[in-house]
Chain A
């Protein structure tokens, strides 16, 4: 099933998500165009992570419709696989495979999922390691790298699958302050190359300079969505104003 509107790379329509009685997402609708950068912010527990985890089916939405590059997410494994092939994800806690070296972390999925040969996978892995500026760490284990380096490896690992969309789930929240900028730099480069991105983050400086659209969530709802200039200068909702005041004044 191909979507007629090809500009839409991600489409959410009236999506609900329940964890037992608790409703984590309430009637979320959102469409993301190719090349668009969305930054999602909001207080903790507002459903930001759940939202992006539904897009690649790490969580199963309860109601509504999610379509990624023409594939609607159903319980059919084929649809889920099709979506996951197009969507890369970076986690707050890096989630590198601890028993594999950096290069093997990068080569695993291309070999198993894309059936790349060993040398193809290796070349691709080295290319992306150079792009995140740590090719010299290829043969180390994740535990031997700093947090910032690990997160850059995680970004490279996702890029090795040539995704159409990248999801970032608070990618700098687990980092020491001095390592945040090296990760944000890589993400900014990626944005400038035209990657479609949805980023959950509290880094408002990054949001201002990179986002096409800001999404503010609270209590499982999208409260406000606007371009960064309007969003930061003239927030309309009181909840947005309060959140921005809390996060920007410290």
Chain B
């Protein structure tokens, strides 16, 4: 079998034309998913069953089914329903890009809310008690004590999820989107050279992952200043 190194190098710039779409999918889904995660977290820890039970069901469904299936249901399934086509969300759900963002956001929101919950549970109870003893309200305790510490505790798992989301964006290529993976599949169809093309694609994803890892490493270091001792 021949292996064309030149083809690997040639196809990288072509696939990079899709990096804009990949990054848009990543950042939009991350932003919306994280916002959703915070809402889900607050509902989950509210102590009210009519808020926490639906949240648990939601998380169970979105963590318990393949994201590819979720994308298909949103892209192929929802447009069959009349009320979806009549709703204000139709302009978003009509487009494959909108569907991909919605699916990725809903999915990552479920995971990230559980990551944040782990962070909240990791905050020493003595600290919120100290806040209570000082007269801080429940809301103030959450905003000024629990949340900052929980965010720091959640960062390693959160960065893991961002990397995972970055790779999940490739699934958008299954609903016609020309992200990097979508372009790669097109080139493969033209050249019949799957090894070379997909290896180039891997290289790009690896570089992206490296950037994400380093960014979170930097943020973690900054947020850990208080843990570093003098010695």
Contact = CB atoms under 8 A, between A and B. Distances in A.
Given A99-B149, A143-B229, A144-B229, A91 B135 contact: no
B126 interface: yes
A84 B149 contact: no
A56 B132 CA distance: 9
A163 to B, nearest CB: 9
Given A98-B149, A112-B140, A56 B133 contact: yes
B144 interface: yes
Interface string A93-112: 10111111100000011001
B144 to A, nearest CB: 6
B120 to A, nearest CB: 14
Interface residues of B, number: 24
A85 B135 CA distance: 6
A221 B228 CA distance: 44
A52 to B, nearest CB: 10
Contact of B129 (A81, A88, A91, A98): A91
B144 A144 contact: no
A154 to B, nearest CB: 8
B133 A89 contact: yes
B140 A141 contact: no
A64 B152 CA distance: 42
Contacts of B230: 144
A141 to B, nearest CB: 4
B227 interface: yes
Q: Of residues B126, B127, B135, B229, which shows the largest number of chain A Cβ atoms within 10 Å of its Cβ?
A: B135
Contact of B134 (A142, A143, A158): A158
Given A91-B129, A93-B126, A99-B152, A112 B144 contact: yes
Contacts of B124: 95
Interface residues of A, number: 30
A88 B133 contact: yes
Contacts of A108: 134, 136, 144
A158 B134 CA distance: 7
Contacts of A113: 134-136, 140
B79 interface: no
B126 A98 contact: no
A100 B225 CA distance: 10
Nearest to B127: A95
A108 B133 CA distance: 13
Nearest to A89: B133
Interface of A: 56-58, 81, 84-85, 87-89, 91, 93, 95-101, 108-109, 112-113, 141-144, 154, 157-158, 161
Task: Give the top 10 A-B pairs by smallest Cβ distance, nearest first.
Answer: A95-B130, A109-B134, A141-B226, A89-B133, A84-B135, A95-B126, A113-B135, A99-B148, A85-B135, A112-B140
26 contacts: A56-B132, A58-B129, A85-B135, A91-B126, A91-B129, A91-B130, A95-B124, A95-B130, A96-B130, A97-B130, A97-B145, A100-B226, A108-B134, A108-B136, A112-B140, A112-B144, A113-B134, A113-B135, A113-B140, A142-B226, A143-B227, A143-B228, A144-B229, A157-B134, A158-B133, A161-B134
